[in-house]
Chains A and B, each alone.
Chain A
Amino acid sequence: MGTPLLWKVFGISGLARPRRNRAGSTSPGGRNRILRGDVEEEDQFQYAKTHCLSSYYSVFVARLAIMVMLAILIGLLTILTWHFTRSYTAKSLEGLAYGLRYELLQRPILRMWNILNSTVEITTAQVKLSEYVIRRYNKPVTQAEQVELYEMMKAVTWALFASHKALNAITINYRNGFVQAFHRDHRSNNTYYIYSDLSNYSISSNPNTEPLSSLEGWNDQTIRGNLSAVWYREPLDPISGEKIGKAGPILPDDLINIAGLSQVPDGVASWHVAVSKYSDSPLLSAALPVWDPSNKSIVAVVGVTTALYSVGQLMKELVEFHSGHIYLTSQPGYLLATSTNTPLLINTTKGPKLMMAADSQDSVIRSGAEWLHQTYGDNYPPSHEVHVENARLGNQHYYIDSFFLNLKRLPMVGVTIIPRKYILGKVEERAFKTLIILISASLCILVIGCLCILILTNGVSKEMKLRAELISHLDARRRAEASSNYKSQFLANMSHELRTPMAAVIGLLDILLCDDCLTNEQYATVTQIRKCSTALLRLLNNILDISKVESGKLVLEEAEFDLRRELEGLIDMFSVQCINHNVEAILDLSDDMPKLVRGDSARVVQIFANLISNSIKFTTSGHIILRGWCENLNSLNDDAKFSVEHKKSLRALKAKLKQHGRSTKKALKKDDRVILWFEVDDTGCGIDPSKWESVFESFEQADPSTTRLHGGTGLGLCIVRTLVNKMGGEIKVVKKNGLGTLMKLYLVLNTPTDSLEPLHREDFAQHGILVLLALHGSMGRYIMSRWLTENGVSALEASDWNGLTQTLRELFYPRSSDGHTNSFGLHHSSDVFRVDEAQNLRDHESRTLIIVIDIALLDLSTEIWKEQLNFLDSYNPRAKFAWMLNHDTSNSVKVELRRKGHVMVSKPLYKAKMVNILDTVIKERISSSPLRNKSTKEGDSHDCLELENIHFEGVSSDESDAMETANNADSRSEFPVEVNNQMCYRKNCQVNEFSCQTRQTLDQLADLEDFNHADEDPERRDLKTQEEKKLTSRCLGEQGNLGSGNSTANRDKSLEGLRILLAEDTPVLQRVATIMLEKLGAKVIAVGDGLQAVNALNCMKLADSGDDNRISEPIRIENSPPYDLILMDCQMPKMDGYEATKEIRKSEAGTELHIPIVALTAHAMSSDEARCLEVGMDAYLTKPIDYKLMVSTILFLTKRLD
């Protein structure tokens, strides 16, 4: 029972071992793979790897444990089942078998007993009969009497013999030696009577002999040894007992044993086993003496012999039925009966003899006897009972049982040998089969179970592998992203390095262009170079913008700005280009647009600059409209609006815009986020609908061939979309009726809540103003007149000079031109002007007429324009003129117009300008109404208008368009340079040729500036300043010629009296900066690192406070800081600029002290700037230090500027 279990356990571990080995070999394999792939990432993977490995191991351990448990369970089940089924059957069978064996043995023994008993009975009966007969014939004296006695005896004996068929023989041996015997030969089935010759025996033998002496009287020798005695045998009929043959003489004792006195030596019955010549089985003979009536002597001996044949027969029958072997032995071991047919006797020379069981010819009996002999030897257990269940004889197992029959004279031993197979064969076979089936079934279950576990755990380990792979994939992705980031970062970092040389190139070219000594050819070449450089710079800027966005370094500013003004400036800027292209640039912003929004103005402007420049590029005629309106954030959610709206026709849309504005106004007040919708609508070549999405990709153009025609890199729209998306908006190309492209976008911007109030607008309607728009561009005119009408101002339109004159005539001389009414109406059928309206207008003579007139309406090519002006002048008192000037309008015209006191506005016309014109006229009318003095009024208005104009131009563009900025003292007040610039410009304004020359340069500069909208960038500012500086230096040069140098002196000491702490570790830089500052009149204290800077500050304070110099003493709050400003290098030993600033700001905490700190850094990234500002610095200068920028920054921070 233990062995199979052990075997099973080993079997399982044997099964499990290869699996574990396999697992062991795969897991390092996996690790190798990981290692191969990511050698450099080893440390990063350490965790994941060990995690993986440990989980691998745990999986295998779990797998193994589950398998072993399963195996044990199944093994136990198997064994128990087998044991119970087998052992119970076996036990019950064993019991049955024992009974059977006992029975088997008992029956032959009983038969034996019966035989013995019957033999004894017969013998006793014979003896009794003999006694009776002998008493009857007591003392036969005569021969006759003797014979009679013998005859009687013969008859009696025969009767007895005949009645017992089983008897072998009955013998009577008389005292006188006479022998009478009946013998039955079972083999031949003959019966014989044997008797001895009477003549040899004396009748006169003494019957009265003493019992003791009578023994002597028996002369055995006479019977056995006496050869002279003659015996006769006569065959008898077995049934009747008749004599059937002749008696023949035989040798005495030849046939049978005749029991003699020797066998009853003590006069009692005796038993023995005999053999006979004629019988092949042993015989059992009993002998009993016959006493004489006086009971004193033995007169005869009766012997009865019975064959044991029947016992053997019975045994055979039993064995036939039950199988096995049975034998019976006497106590010494002589075989008495067996269940086989083998002979029981050995024929020796002396006749047959009894045979030992161990010599039996039957192998089973022989080996059984031998086994018994070997096992027990002569020491049989008491009573000779042996029960052996599993004796091995030959090749088979046998049951061996023996019983002892203890007869007094003849102890016997019976042995049964039954093959085990007979009793337990079937059971054992069944048990074996069951075992086989159980084992195979459990093996199957085990295998299946193991497979299941394997599959199950395989799933787990696969998942784990997948997870590991996922980790590695994620890591790879992260690395890929990082490397792509490096690229962008590299570009962004290179921005300074790339832009600086370009700026230098352009600056140098400008200088070269100013040079007088250039030939025309050279001049043309240099101009070309300059254009190319500008293009290159623009490209660079675009690429850098994109890389900046990609590297995530683009940080949108959040500052309030006037969106309207920015856009107006933008349109102003582009109008120059547009006029050159003969394209109308129109700005159409709805009135509900918030005045102020929060956001990154530069980026917003950049978006529109890119879009508009893109439109200009592809538009050769017609118009470009920038529309804008406002929408409530709540309606953003239904995205459908975007798609629905673009289906509407333009006119319907425009009408809708106003509705939008009104309906959302209320909602806007609650939420300060607004959605600003914009459309850029051009009449260019348009974009194929299939390219509507792809034009926003990098380096993608709708039609590759356009690159040849129009140039460009295809980066502009990509930047636009990136920026729009960054501002929470979206941009799309939408379907448009007619030619051209319609780009629609929205931006989500914050707006200060107060700015949401509708702009206070003067109610122009009450002033009764009539505006005559005499403009070339029909679209702009149409939009403007619509707007004016909506605001309660009547508007008339004229598209050319003739139309204008006709309208004027119609207005002022209605009666005289009555006849022309028809033709007038026909003539102006194209204009939105109705005759009845004109009539209506005519009735109100008191109205103020404002004529907004395009300078292009005049014929400037010849001198006709003067006459035209004079013609218009005739309406002067009743009409106010506002001239729309081109950028290239010649000075003489301007001078003339100014002289006439007309309002001059540069193109294009948009609402703000219109409002301005209206305001001016209304103001003028109010102021002039009490005073009727014409001349003074004109002079006043001249100045007024001029200033107005200048101011307007200045504020309209924050783009530092040099020409306009030059006129403006406010827009860039932090640059004192520009003050000079302005001054010099003013001076030079009178000098005509210089003006022209500068104009050219400035235009080019403006051109350049077109691409530098984002002036928040320090680098760009830097660049710009450089250019301005160049300009300044040139102007200064001119100034020098003109003999005015006082501004230089002014600049030189602009930092007079300032105390500046300079923290810079590089000695060279330290020295340079010191000299720079000292030259400006500042007092400079230079220190080598941040720690020194902090200490210097503390010491100064302590020294100032005067009384103690303990460092631990909290710093005294001084009324005035020890230094006016600190210039702080960012990267320094011991303590860097950031730390030092933090330290200083910490010490300042709680006081109202705030020393301005300006960072000096070699990095030119806005993220550095952000960090600088974060730690509490106020401004930020890049190395190498730009002189002008530094001065302006310092002045700004020390509030010297105001």
Chain B
Amino acid sequence: MDVGQMQKRLLDYMNSLLKEGILDSQFAQLQQLQDESNPDFVAEVVNLFFTDSENLINDLSNALGQQNVDFKKVDSCVHQLKGSSASIGAQRLKNTCISFRKFCDEQNLQACLMCLQEMQQEYLLLRSKLDVLLQVEKQIVAAGGSIPIMEF
């Protein structure tokens, strides 16, 4: 596949992600930050995000599995996840976080658990999508092309 095609594919893919609401303009900003001095910046941040998010989700499921749920702790975890997902532009995950926090305020355990489940799904979805995206990017870079930056 030639570089141009790959670039187009990547753009299309990113557009579809945008349309689905999985990513937003923040991701483009991230991409803009990537340059020669930081060639793997996006991948680095995304991987950071994955590690961080996994930890947070684990913490969350632990916290919600407790006998007496410490909603304060849950709230702070969700808040953190919200911040990081907003930073990489994972819009849907961020929205889940927002509703999660609302239920947290209400101390509604049932709804929180549902949110957690939803959050895990969103996370897995995001992860798979981003993995693909990064894969394509890598290919483009390997083929010697530049990564197209999406305009949001």
Residues of chain A whose beta carbon lies under 8 Å from any beta carbon of chain B: 497, 504, 507-508, 511, 1065-1069, 1071-1072, 1075-1076, 1079, 1129, 1131, 1133, 1162, 1183-1185, 1187
Assembled-state Cα–Cα distance A1187/B151 (Å)? 15
On chain A, the residues within 8 Å of B80 by CB distance are 1065-1066, 1131
Residue in B29, B32, B51, B87 whose beta carbon sits within 8 Å of that of A1069 in the complex: B87
Evaluate contact between B152 and A1185: CB separation under 8 angstroms: no
Chain B interface: which size bin?
20 to 34
Assembled-state Cα–Cα distance A256/B69 (Å)? 132
Evaluate contact between B151 and A511: CB separation under 8 angstroms: yes
CB distance from B97 to the nearest CB of A (A): 9
**If the complex has contacts A1072-B33, A1184-B87, are A1162 and B48 also in contact, measured as CB distance less than 8 A?**
no
Q: Mark B64-76, 1 if CB is under 8 A from A, else 0.
A: 0000000000001
Nearest 7 CB-CB pairings of A with B? A1068-B84, A1066-B84, A1068-B49, A1069-B87, A1184-B26, A1184-B86, A1066-B83
Q: Mark B59-102, 1 if CB is under 8 A from A, else 0.
A: 00000000000000000100110111011110000010010000
Evaluate contact between A1187 and B29: CB separation under 8 angstroms: yes
Evaluate contact between B98 and A1072: CB separation under 8 angstroms: no
Assembled-state Cα–Cα distance A577/B76 (Å)? 49
Evaluate contact between B45 and A1072: CB separation under 8 angstroms: yes
Cβ of B30 within 8 Å of any chain A Cβ, yes or no, is yes
Evaluate contact between A1075 and B38: CB separation under 8 angstroms: yes
Q: Which residue of A lies closest to B33 (CB)?
A: A1075
Cβ of B52 within 8 Å of any chain A Cβ, yes or no, is yes
Evaluate contact between A1131 and B87: CB separation under 8 angstroms: no
**If the complex has contacts A1075-B38, A1162-B83, are A1068 and B52 also in contact, measured as CB distance less than 8 A?**
yes
Chain B binding site: helix, strand, loop or mixed by DSSP? helix
On chain A, the residues within 8 Å of B86 by CB distance are 1162, 1183-1184
CB distance from B149 to the nearest CB of A (A): 11
List 6 A-B residue pairs with CB atoms under 8 Å apart, sorted by A's residue number: A507-B152, A1072-B45, A1075-B38, A1162-B82, A1162-B83, A1183-B86
CB distance from A100 to the nearest CB of B (A): 98
On chain B, the residues within 8 Å of A497 by CB distance are 95, 98
On chain B, the residues within 8 Å of A1185 by CB distance are 87
On chain B, the residues within 8 Å of A1065 by CB distance are 80
Residue in B45, B51, B76, B82 whose beta carbon sits within 8 Å of that of A1133 in the complex: B76
**If the complex has contacts A508-B152, A511-B151, A1184-B89, are A1067 and B82 also in contact, measured as CB distance less than 8 A?**
no
Assembled-state Cα–Cα distance A1076/B98 (Å)? 26
For window 27-60 of B, CB contacts with A under 8 Å fall at 29-30, 32-33, 35, 37-38, 41, 44-45, 48-49, 51-52
Residues of chain B whose beta carbon lies under 8 Å from any beta carbon of chain A: 24-26, 29-30, 32-33, 35, 37-38, 41, 44-45, 48-49, 51-52, 76, 79-80, 82-84, 86-89, 95, 98, 151-152
On chain A, the residues within 8 Å of B38 by CB distance are 1075, 1079
Q: Which residue of A lies closest to B86 (CB)?
A: A1184
Assembled-state Cα–Cα distance A716/B52 (Å)? 46
Evaluate contact between B48 and A1068: CB separation under 8 angstroms: yes
Evaluate contact between B152 and A1069: CB separation under 8 angstroms: no
On chain A, the residues within 8 Å of B32 by CB distance are 1187
CB distance from A796 to the nearest CB of B (A): 56
CB distance from B120 to the nearest CB of A (A): 18
On chain B, the residues within 8 Å of A1066 by CB distance are 52, 80, 83-84, 87
On chain B, the residues within 8 Å of A1184 by CB distance are 26, 29, 86-87, 89
Evaluate contact between B87 and A1183: CB separation under 8 angstroms: yes
CB distance from B130 to the nearest CB of A (A): 12
On chain B, the residues within 8 Å of A1133 by CB distance are 76
Evaluate contact between B79 and A1131: CB separation under 8 angstroms: yes
Residue in A1071, A1131, A1183 whose beta carbon sits within 8 Å of that of B44 in the complex: A1071
Evaluate contact between A504 and B88: CB separation under 8 angstroms: no
8 new A-B contacts at CB < 8 Å, known A1068-B48, A1131-B83? A511-B151, A1066-B83, A1068-B49, A1068-B84, A1072-B88, A1075-B38, A1131-B76, A1183-B86
Assembled-state Cα–Cα distance A1170/B132 (Å)? 43
On chain A, the residues within 8 Å of B76 by CB distance are 1131, 1133
Q: Which residue of B lies closest to A1070 (CB)?
A: B48
CB distance from B119 to the nearest CB of A (A): 16
Residue in B33, B35, B88 whose beta carbon sits within 8 Å of that of A1068 in the complex: B88
CB distance from A595 to the nearest CB of B (A): 42
On chain A, the residues within 8 Å of B51 by CB distance are 1067
Assembled-state Cα–Cα distance A861/B32 (Å)? 49
CB distance from A473 to the nearest CB of B (A): 25
CB distance from B37 to the nearest CB of A (A): 8
Assembled-state Cα–Cα distance A1185/B89 (Å)? 11
On chain A, the residues within 8 Å of B52 by CB distance are 1066-1068
CB distance from B36 to the nearest CB of A (A): 11
On chain A, the residues within 8 Å of B49 by CB distance are 1067-1068
Evaluate contact between B41 and A1075: CB separation under 8 angstroms: yes
Assembled-state Cα–Cα distance A543/B17 (Å)? 30
Kindly name the residue among A1065, A1071, A1075 whose own CB sees the greatest number of chain B CB atoms within 10 A.
A1071
CB distance from A457 to the nearest CB of B (A): 44
Q: Which residue of A lies closest to B44 (CB)?
A: A1071
On chain B, the residues within 8 Å of A511 by CB distance are 151
CB distance from A1136 to the nearest CB of B (A): 10
CB distance from A793 to the nearest CB of B (A): 55
Evaluate contact between A504 and B25: CB separation under 8 angstroms: yes
On chain A, the residues within 8 Å of B79 by CB distance are 1131, 1162
Assembled-state Cα–Cα distance A1079/B48 (Å)? 19
Assembled-state Cα–Cα distance A635/B41 (Å)? 67
On chain A, the residues within 8 Å of B37 by CB distance are 1079
Assembled-state Cα–Cα distance A476/B85 (Å)? 39
On chain B, the residues within 8 Å of A1067 by CB distance are 48-49, 51-52, 84
On chain B, the residues within 8 Å of A504 by CB distance are 24-25, 152
Assembled-state Cα–Cα distance A508/B25 (Å)? 11
Evaluate contact between A1068 and B45: CB separation under 8 angstroms: yes
CB distance from B26 to the nearest CB of A (A): 5
Q: Which residue of B lies closest to A494 (CB)?
A: B98
On chain A, the residues within 8 Å of B89 by CB distance are 1184
Q: Which residue of B lies closest to A1072 (CB)?
A: B87
Assembled-state Cα–Cα distance A508/B18 (Å)? 13
